[in-house]
Structure 1
Amino acid sequence: MGAMVFGGACLQGIGGLGFAMFCAPLALLLFPELVPGPLLALGCPLALLAMVREFRAIEWSTAGYALAGRAGGALLATAVLQLASPATLSVLFALLILTGVGLSLRGWRVRATPVASGTAGFASGLMGTITSAGAPPLAIAMQNLPPAPLRATLGCIFFLGSAISLAALQAAGRVSGGELLVGLLLIPWMLAGFAVSGPLSTRISARGLRSGLLTLASLSALAVLAQAFFHV
């Protein structure tokens, strides 16, 4: 668990996201007790660290629209969880993410407009509350931002968004104190991974970061599909 959290925190520190995209599929297969509450509890302070490190680069309007969407998605997720199977929803989300990645690779240029940011935030709230991995929609919507604003803005979104999702899960009775304690015990691994990411984050280009985001989104979606079909 510690090695997984270390790797995910390092990825997030470099690219602005990657913690849940890396950890959630592995946790679903190996450590299901970490999904979704403990991973969200770890992702919240990790995002705060990223937000503080490059605070001046935050694009507040983009973050605001995405957070408004994320709040709506998280609230809807609490109702959807009562009506539909999480596995079915995970497959749907994964297919939509792969479609978005495919369109991006074929030249679809996404801009972080208010509509795109709000829609991505809404999808992130739904997906993050249900699966712990709410980053892929935001990775697609914000893939063309420069590295520093991308990392800082996503840190702001994920910090407040993770808190919203945790509150929604608590209201739905889907997270316990014992689960959150497991998350707290893994915080040293998260801090170590983020510390390692600092020197590495300055060496990545905008083009390299975009390629990395799309790759992570694809791998995350494929892992969710594999997990869903593995349990069928």
Structure 2
Amino acid sequence: MTGPEYAVIAGVVFLAACLQASSGFGMGMLAAPVIAIIDPALLPATLILLALLVTVMVTVTERQSLDLRGTGWALAGRIPGSFLGAWLVAASSREGLAWVVVIVVLMGLVLAVRGWAPRPRRRTLVAAGAASGIMGTATSIGGPPMALVWQGHEGPRLRGTMSAFFMVGSAISMTMLWLAGAVTPDMLALALWMVPAVVAGYVASRYVNRFLTPGRLKGLAFGASALGSVLLVLQLVLSG
């Protein structure tokens, strides 16, 4: 990659980390389309590693507000979902995964805009966890299913619960990808270079939380995700 491409990725990772730390989700939705435009081969492991770092920091910060019971049921679905997601990565082409990123993001946006809000019951949490495992492992975008289920939580409880789930889920996904041989040295190197951007995004989120409401943060996530998906579709069409 060129210097400007590194700079673009660092910028979007900074914004995505800030968004993730502020609202509990959105890192993959914001950053995955942009990284897929630059080099689809860097997905999904690079973003999953960076999301793991963000979620560890937020979970520690918001540990007093966790919904441990709900997180446990969601993780029960995440594990088998991660197996299937790792298989998709091993069996799919780079272009195919890029299209999956677009479809996943747009599906999440449509459901969120339509206001679908399933109740966080046991079966719903397990199903959402499984969907998040498949999507998160295959595309690094596992937020939409859990955001729909837990959208009734607010503030620290939403951030803490989502982060605890994604912290464990990201670790599971990375293990599955590693066993599937889908983690390359380039992915690890880029993730290492992006650590300062992630930490800076987390620090910025502590200030952003004072000025932006959860509704505005979600609007920012959805708008940025929609723009990234449109750009990715154009890139795929033109390259085809």
Task: Tell me the TM-score normalised to structure 1 length.
Answer: 0.84
- Structure 2 partner of 1:137: 145
Does residue 1:192 correspond to 2:207, yes or no? no
Partner Cα distance (1:28, 1:21) in 2: 11
Mapping for residues 9-48 of structure 1, pairs under 5 Å = 9-48=17-56
Mapping for residues 44-123 of structure 1, pairs under 5 Å = 44-85=52-93, 87-88=95-96, 91=99, 94-95=102-103, 98-99=106-107, 101-123=109-131
- Structure 1 partner of 2:4: none
Partner Cα distance (1:219, 1:110) in 2: 26
- What is the Cα deviation at residue 41 of structure 1? 1.4
Partner Cα distance (1:17, 1:91) in 2: 21
Residue 154 of structure 1 is aligned with which of 162, 168, 178? 162
Q: Structure 1: any 5+ residue segments left out of the alignment? A: none
Partner Cα distance (1:72, 1:171) in 2: 14
CA gap of 1:54–1:174, structure 2 versus 1, over 3 A, is: same
Partner Cα distance (1:133, 1:71) in 2: 16
Partner Cα distance (2:152, 2:221) in 1: 10
Q: Structure 2: any 5+ residue segments left out of the alignment? A: 1-8
Range moving further from structure 2, 89-98 or 107-116: 89-98
- What is the Cα deviation at residue 140 of structure 1? 2.2
Partner Cα distance (1:230, 1:204) in 2: 37
Range moving further from structure 2, 220-229 or 198-207: 220-229
Mapping for residues 221-232 of structure 1, pairs under 5 Å = 229=237, 231-232=239-240
Sequence identity (%) = 31
Partner Cα distance (1:71, 1:54) in 2: 24
- Structure 1 partner of 2:181: 173
CA gap of 1:95–1:184, structure 2 versus 1, over 3 A, is: closer
Residues 147 and 205 in structure 1, CA contact (< 8 A), matched pair in contact too: no
Mapping for residues 202-217 of structure 1, pairs under 5 Å = 202-209=210-217, 211-212=219-220, 214-215=222-223
Aligned to 1:145, what secondary structure does the other structure show? Answer: coil
**Root mean square deviation of aligned Cα:** 2.7
Partner Cα distance (2:101, 2:193) in 1: 30
Partner Cα distance (1:220, 1:117) in 2: 28
Residues 48 and 156 in structure 1, CA contact (< 8 A), matched pair in contact too: yes
Aligned to 2:82, what secondary structure does the other structure show? Answer: helix
Range moving further from structure 2, 155-164 or 174-183: 174-183
- 1:54 partner letter: E
CA gap of 1:189–1:211, structure 2 versus 1, over 3 A, is: closer
